[in-house]
């Protein structure tokens, strides 16, 4: 029976095993749906030509019936999955709106108070700055949580457009101007660096997470360097700091969800930033590599493939995900 199912050919009456039985594949075009077995032990009866024609007709109808049931089940599952994805997306959008809108309003109000009332007493100004810092940190946590959900649920969709590396990094640095204010910053972007073909918003999020970590785990006054370069096959953006550094053996673990090194337990964080960065970059067909800086610190290198306009990066990222590259 197994041989018939694998090869799609009938067997019986003196062929292979159990010669009293006739095995016929339930076959539609190139698909085998099962095997039908006919006959009676001990009688050695062989079907006549007319009986074989009738049996083959019945087998064909049975195969079509089975295929129809399978196709209907597959269609039902597809409809359920599509509906589930729509509900999932609506829920994420709702959560994002309900959580991030109040935070944006609070941030705007604090900024207004700080700018319009420059003569505030020091204690009140410190309090406002603490509120602003807390709101910014909460906004990053919510953004990262929602990003992780999208990555793991397969809802991450790329909207790739040509993007200049200097413009991309400039936007990120403006977003993090207050976070990086205590760190001397160096940016190196050669003129020959090719344009990136990426989802700009997502790559910005990845770079924000990397640079935020560089600042968070480095002492005030320590430098941070950003270097971009282009090769024949890839464009790399490396962020180098002189901070706490990586414990040997943790280079891969850093990209696991909620993983936090024993060396940074005293610093607040969720352990999601690098996991999301890794997911975003892999969706683009690239990779993120963590290495130790010498004599101390970390080098985070984002490597993005050089691609032409319209190349299906989302499909490449999906295939990487199915091969398990999102799991660590």
Q: How far from the centroid of its chain's Cα atoms is residue 217's Cα?
A: 25
| pLDDT at residue 322 in the model | 42
Band of pLDDT at residue 110, cut at 50, 70 and 90: confident
State the sign of the Cα–Cα–Cα–Cα dihedral 257, 262, 265, 268.
negative
| pLDDT at residue 223 in the model | 95
The whole model's pTM is what? 0.59
Q: Give 49-64 pLDDT, tens digit per residue.
A: 777 788 888 888 888 8
Is the pLDDT at 28 greater than 90, yes or no? no
| pLDDT at residue 240 in the model | 96
| pLDDT at residue 97 in the model | 65
Pairing of strands 234-241, 287-292: unpaired
Mean pLDDT of the residues in the chain: 79
| Residue with more model confidence, 199 or 107 | 199
Distances in Å between the alpha carbon of 58 and those of 12, 26, 54, 199?
17, 10, 6, 55
| Residue with more model confidence, 115 or 228 | 228
Q: Give 112-166 pLDDT, tens digit per residue.
A: 777 776 667 778 778 887 887 777 777 777 777 777 777 766 667 788 888 899 9
DSSP annotation of 255 reads: G
| Residue with more model confidence, 107 or 313 | 107
Contact (Cβ atoms closer than 8 angstroms) between residue 269 and residue 216: yes
- Return all residues near 111 (Cβ < 8 A) that are at least 6 apart: 132
Bridge partners, 56 (sequence order): none
Burial grade of 268 (CB within 10 A; 0-12, 13-18, 19 or more): exposed
| pLDDT at residue 166 in the model | 92
**Distance from C-alpha of 222 to C-alpha of 297, rounded to nearest angstrom:** 10
Tokens of 118: 């420059």
| pLDDT at residue 304 in the model | 92
Give the residue among 21, 49, 19 at the shortest CA–CA distance from 36: 21
Contact (Cβ atoms closer than 8 angstroms) between residue 253 and residue 328: yes
Is the pLDDT at 312 greater than 70, yes or no? no
Tokens of 234: 């890839």
| Residue with more model confidence, 171 or 104 | 171
Q: What is the CA radius of gyration of the chain?
A: 30
Is the pLDDT at 244 greater than 60, yes or no? yes
Least confident of 90-94, 100-104, 314-318: 314-318
E strands, the chain, are 11-12, 21-28, 31-39, 161-163, 185-188, 196-198, 224-230, 234-241, 287-292, 298-305
**Distance from C-alpha of 307 to C-alpha of 320, rounded to nearest angstrom:** 17
Is the pLDDT at 86 greater than 50, yes or no? yes
């Amino acid at each position: 029976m197994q041989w018939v199912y694998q090869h799609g050919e009938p067997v019986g009456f003196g062929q292979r095993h159990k010669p009293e039985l006739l095995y016929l594949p339930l076959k539609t075009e190139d698909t085998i749906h099962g095997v039908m077995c006919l006959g009676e032990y001990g009688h050695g009866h062989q079907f006549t030509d007319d009986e074989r024609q009738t049996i083959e007709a019945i087998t064909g109808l049975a195969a079509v019936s089975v295929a129809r049931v399978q196709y209907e089940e597959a269609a039902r599952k597809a409809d359920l999955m599509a509906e589930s994805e729509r509900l999932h997306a609506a829920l994420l959008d709702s959560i994002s709106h309900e959580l991030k809108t109040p935070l944006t309003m609070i941030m705007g109000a604090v900024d207004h108070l700080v700018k319009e009332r420059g003569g505030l007493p020091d204690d009140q100004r410190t309090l406002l700055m603490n509120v602003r810092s807390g709101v910014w940190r909460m906004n990053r946590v919510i953004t990262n949580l929602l990003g992780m959900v999208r990555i793991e649920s397969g809802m991450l969709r790329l909207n790739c457009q040509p993007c200049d590396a200097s413009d991309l990094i400039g936007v990120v640095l403006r977003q993090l101007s207050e976070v990086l204010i205590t760190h001397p910053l160096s940016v190196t972007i050669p003129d020959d660096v090719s344009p990136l073909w990426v989802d700009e918003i997502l790559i910005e999020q990845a770079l924000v997470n990397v640079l935020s970590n560089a600042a968070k785990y480095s002492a005030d006054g320590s430098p941070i360097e950003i270097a971009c370069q282009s090769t024949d096959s890839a464009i790399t953006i490396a962020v180098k700091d002189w901070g706490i550094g990586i414990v040997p053996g943790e280079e891969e673990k850093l990209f696991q969800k909620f993983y936090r090194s024993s060396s940074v337990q005293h610093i607040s964080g969720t352990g999601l930033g690098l996991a999301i960065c890794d997911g975003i970059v892999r969706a683009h067909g690239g990779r993120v590599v963590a290495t130790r800086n010498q004599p101390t610190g970390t080098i985070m290198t984002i490597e993005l493939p050089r691609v032409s306009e319209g190349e299906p990066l989302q499909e490449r990222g999906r295939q990487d995900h199915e091969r398990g590259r999102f799991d660590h």
